[in-house]
Structure 1
Amino acid sequence: MARTPAFRVVPAADGVFLIRGPAVNWALIADGDALTLIDGGYPAYADAVEASIRAVGRRPADVAAVLVTHGHVDHIGSLARFAARHGAPVYAGAAEVPHVRRAFLQQVTPARILRNAWRPRVPPWVAHLVRAGALRDCRVEAVRPLPPEGPLDVPGRPVPVPTPGHTSGHLCYHLPGRGVLVTGDALVTGHPLSRLAGPQPLPSMFDHDRSAALASMAALRSCAADTLLPGHGPLWRGTPEDAVTRARDRAELVW
């Protein structure tokens, strides 16, 4: 029997939780009896995603909506199964919908990973992603496009913040009433391949358009928040303004 990957529930704000998976995070927003799930980890994290919902005292059936930051396998891998089992609609930005459906793929290539295989942190990371199901077909055919402006009519009423570059349709999600910003992969605080801790961009090989990814961080500066929930790395307490400044100042330190 397959073992459910370990995860840790980190309370972020009232009714908001960052779920720390082995290599990637997802988030839960509670609003009354309903939940919004943001992202869902690798395919092999599917049981962990459901277990994390139970760990905050809810049921997977309480998820009224699933939001996608972007269509990489480590963020959407469990979502097709989750939607099929529990009937929750899955949403992504209009520009990201065809990516989630795999009409095209903006993801690091095996050849680029191989060129970096000499780096000590790469082989164990590759071993994990293979075990986690990164080679499986993870497309979510039923994904729906979000409206062009927020707040969204889903639990927590998050406001999408377009941050293209990591992928063409990457979105962050702002919860102004709770002082939280879910940053996906637009800005992270750690990664298995990074020696840095704290706000930073991902290694450049993960970005579809590195220049655009660094530039689009500016959209986060005006978000009123004091807590950041990244796609990778621990929760970070501080303003988006400070986090963006730190991340951009350290961009040259991330290979």
Structure 2
Amino acid sequence: MAQNVIEVADDVFLGRGTDVNWILLRDGDAVTLIDAGYPGDAGRLEASLRALGRRPEDVRAILLTHAHIDHLGGAAQLARRYGTPVYTDAREAAHVRREHLEQAGPMDLAANLWRPTLWPWLGRVLRVGAAKNARIPSAQPFAASGALDLPGRPVPVPTRGHTSGHTAYHLPDVGAVVTGDELVTGHAVTGHVGPHTLPAFFNSGDPVTALAAIETLDADLVLPGHGDALRRPIAEAVAEARDHARR
């Protein structure tokens, strides 16, 4: 198994890009990919597929938690090279197509240059395309509610806080929830290890309130967009994230 991918449950894998994660759900020869890293992470993304014995052509679909560059960059390349379909929440699909943009900009970053952790993180992510204006014109909303007819049978859960169309994905078969950036367990800028939400300048809305959508799910494995996988009941992880936000 490649160093940047680990199996966290049966046929569920967490891949690592540049300070960001993606999730691979394997079912026979087919794969569902959830998020895809920065544009410059495309090589790592394809390596994580090869580690599973699969090729980019085996990705049945890409699901996005949200349309920030660190989650859609690799997806844009797969969609362009292989015609891989990309799906997300109806509200977020327009964001993926860049009909509008909800993302921290230069002024937000400038206002946070007092954070000593921001500089090294910014240097790394700029090298992998953080400033690129990537978009996916073919992105579409989910065709139906409930479990999707894709490898891993993911169930979209609207968590509209980090962005206005952010989506988590419940994996009932393995008791896991892919939380994207609504709840993370680590981030280079925050320096905190454990369940928490991202600083306000990264968010378009209120991620703490949006956590209510996932806290009652039957899941004891948290798969975040940033940080390590966490084996803990989701309700406990949400409670810790809320407590951290109050400090």
Return the TM-score normalized by structure 2. Answer: 0.96
1:149 has 2:149 as partner: no
> How far apart are the structure 1 equivalents of 2:77 and 2:16?
20
Equivalent residue, structure 2, for 1:98 = 94
Q: Please, which of 215, 220, 223 is the counterpart of residue 226 of structure 1?
A: 220
Q: How does 1:25-174 map to 2 (within 5 A)?
A: 25-147=21-143, 149-174=145-170
Change in Cα spacing, 1:127 to 1:227, as seen in structure 2 (3 Å) is: same
User: RMSD over aligned Cα, in angstroms?
Assistant: 1.3
Q: CA deviation digits over 1:123-178, x for unaligned, max 9?
A: 11111121010111210001111135110111111000000011000000001011
3-state DSSP class of the match of 2:170?
strand
SS of structure 1 residue aligned to 2:44:
helix
Aligned residue pairs, count: 246
Matches of 1:19 and 1:82, distance apart in 2: 16
Q: Does 2:234 align with 1:244? A: no
Q: Does structure 2 conserve the Cα–Cα contact (< 8 Å) formed by 1:20 and 1:234?
A: no
The answer to whether the aligner puts 1:192 opposite 2:185 as a matched pair is: no
Query: Aligned residue for 1:3?
Result: none
What do the CA deviations read for 1:75-94 (whole angstroms, capped 9, x no partner)? 00111211122222110110
Taking the aligned partners of 2:214 and 2:195, their CA distance within structure 1 comes to 13
Gaps of 5+ in 1: 1-5
The whole-number CA distance in structure 2 between the counterparts of 1:145 and 1:99 is 11
Counterpart of 1:235 in structure 2 is 229
**Partner Cα separation in structure 1 for residue 97 and residue 237 of structure 2:** 32
Shift of 1:21: 2.0
Name the counterpart of 1:8: 4
CA contact (8 A) 2:18 2:38 kept: no
Q: Do 2:4 and 2:44's aligned partners in 1 also have CA atoms closer than 8 Å?
A: no
1:216 corresponds to 2:210:
yes
Higher deviation after alignment, 126-135 or 164-173: 126-135
Task: Find the residue that maps to 1:250 and give its secondary structure.
Answer: helix
Amino acid at match of 1:242: E
Identity of aligned residues (%): 50
Q: Match of 1:9, as an amino acid?
A: V
In structure 1, distance between residues paired with 2:168 and 2:3: 22
For 1:79 and 1:9, locate their aligned partners in 2 and report how far apart those are by CA, in whole Å: 17
Question: CA 1:75/1:7 → structure 2, altered by over 3 Å: closer, same or farther?
Answer: farther
Q: Distance in 1 between matches of 2:140 and 2:223?
A: 23
Q: Work out whether residues 65 and 90 of structure 1, in 8 Å CA contact, stay in contact via their aligned partners in 2.
A: yes
